Amino acid sequence: MLKSEKANAKINLVLDVLGKRDDGYHEISTVFQSLDLSDTLTFESRSEGIGLSSNAPALPLNKDNLIWQAAHLLQSHYGVSGGVHIHLHKRIPVAAGLGGGSSDAAAALRGLVRFWHLPWESEVLYALAAQLGSDVAFCLQGGTALGSGRGEILQPLPACPHFYVVLANPGFAVSTAKVYQAFVPDGPNRTGAGGLVAALEAGAREEVKCGLENALERSTFSLYPKVRRLKERMQKTAPSLMCGSGPTVFALFDTKEDAAKLCEQLKAEGISAWLTETVSASLGGGENV
Ligand SMILES: C[C@@](CO)(OP(=O)(O)O)[C@H](O)COP(=O)(O)OP(=O)(O)OC[C@H]1O[C@@H](n2ccc(N)nc2=O)[C@H](O)[C@@H]1O
Ligand SMILES: Nc1ncnc2c1ncn2[C@@H]1O[C@H](COP(=O)(O)OP(=O)(O)O)[C@@H](O)[C@H]1O
């Protein structure tokens, strides 16, 4: 029997960079939010090893793929003797600030726990997630959460009010490591995550829109001025922010009609755009197919 698992994209409603650590990572404070836009992983039994296939030609189908790494970590930790073939149906743009690779890795962990009939041991899974990448722990749970440390320490937050979300991508990939490297602190005047957390606690949707902030924008904008122009274009219509390390920009809408209108306008201007929406926790959507 084939089994499948959804891997949802994420955005950061706030991303504050607090400083550089001795291990080379940056200490951050971020509000993660899952989106409905997702990849799908399908699992099929095989006698040994880990096989990968995908509809995305540019992605590695070997140990460089985060799905392979997640499967390998789980197999080794629990001494699983059988193998698996995993097909990735990619819809989330790659290296776009939407956490696609991290979410695929988290979906591989969730899906393979069921597929191999392993126990759901949260401590083990979150430790494996943190080894795979800073965003993988959030992608394991999804919904709305406050991330600290390098992003892997999570605190639950009230679910974000529902928004339709337009994503626009300028058509090139951005290296997360390069963006963090280019980060220069901007002094003590940062708002940080506090305002947005308060807005979520009050369920105040207008305050959520006003609280959007991403400290990595300056680095990415200086490396890729086209991303700044894309944000300025979107900001004319709705509250907008760069996703993670970029270069995708998102805009928040109350109505599907208004979101669809911007999405169509962007496409008419030759910009890749998607219409999606925020989703609350309980990710996975695993099913037998
Ligand atoms: C910027 C964010 C915001 O959610 O997302 P993306 O733009 O990648 O989606 C994350 O912090 C990215 O997390 P993730 O993509 O998992 O990064 P990792 O694989 O752990 O790290 C890639 C590289 O980014 C840098 N890095 C990452 C996280 C962090 N807190 N500080 C860092 O300096 C390090 O140079 C690291 O080698
Ligand atoms: N399953 C995967 N899906 C996407 N990217 C992957 C995957 N496995 C490894 N990668 C690598 O991870 C890097 C970051 O991709 P991605 O997670 O999509 O972006 P971001 O970190 O900007 O959210 C890319 O360079 C890509 O080659």
Residue nearest to atom 26 of ligand 1 (CA): 25
Q: Are 266 and 273 in contact (CB under 8 A)?
A: yes
The SS3 call for residue 13 is strand
Residue 10: active-site member: yes
- Ligand 2 within 6 A of 139 CB? no
One pLDDT digit (tens) per residue for the chain, 289 residues: 669 999 999 999 999 999 999 999 999 999 999 999 999 999 999 999 999 999 999 999 999 999 999 999 999 999 999 999 999 999 999 999 999 999 999 999 999 999 999 999 999 999 999 999 999 999 999 999 999 999 999 999 999 999 999 999 999 999 999 999 999 887 666 778 999 999 999 999 999 999 999 999 999 999 999 999 999 999 999 999 999 999 999 999 999 999 999 999 999 999 999 999 999 976 554 555 4
Say how far apart CA 66 and CA 109 lie, in whole Å. 11
Protein residue whose Cα sits closest to atom 35 of ligand 1: 177
Helix axes 122-132, 66-78, angle to 10 degrees: 140
pLDDT value at residue 289 = 47
Residue 153 forms beta bridges with which residues?
A: 148
Residue 103 CA to residue 18 CA, distance in Å, equals 24
Is the distance from the beta carbon of residue 214 to the nearest atom of ligand 1 less than 6 Å?
no
Q: Is 247 annotated as a binding residue?
A: no
Q: What would the two tokens of residue 13 be?
A: 């409603």
- Please write the tens of the pLDDT for every residue from 193-218: 999 999 999 999 999 999 999 999 99
Residue 220 burial (CB count, 10 A): 26
Q: Domains, the chain, ranges and CATH?
A: 3-157 (3.30.230.10), 164-277 (3.30.70.890)
64 is catalytic: no
Q: What is the pLDDT of residue 178?
A: 97
What is the rounded CA–CA span in Å between residue 13 and residue 255?
A: 19
Residue type, 246: G
> DSSP assignment of 22-77, as one string?
TTS-EEEEEEEEEEEEEEEEEEEEESSSEEEEES-TTS--STTSHHHHHHHHHHHH
Active site residue: 16, 39, 104, 135, which one?
135
* Of 30, 36, 27, 34, nearest in space to 196 by CA: 30
Asked if residue 97 lies in contact with residue 113, where contact means CB atoms within 8 angstroms, the answer is no
Name 179's Cβ contacts closer than 8 Å, sequence gap at least 6: 216, 219, 220, 223, 245, 246
Strand 3-20 to 287-288 pairing:
antiparallel
Q: Which residue type sits at 185? A: P
Cα(176) to ligand 1 centroid in Å equals 6
Give the SS3 label for residue 5: strand
Beta strand segments in the chain, E = 3-20, 26-46, 50-54, 83-89, 144-148, 153-156, 164-169, 213-214, 240-242, 249-253, 272-277, 287-288
Q: What is the ipTM of this complex?
A: 0.98
Place of tokens 């083990």: 124
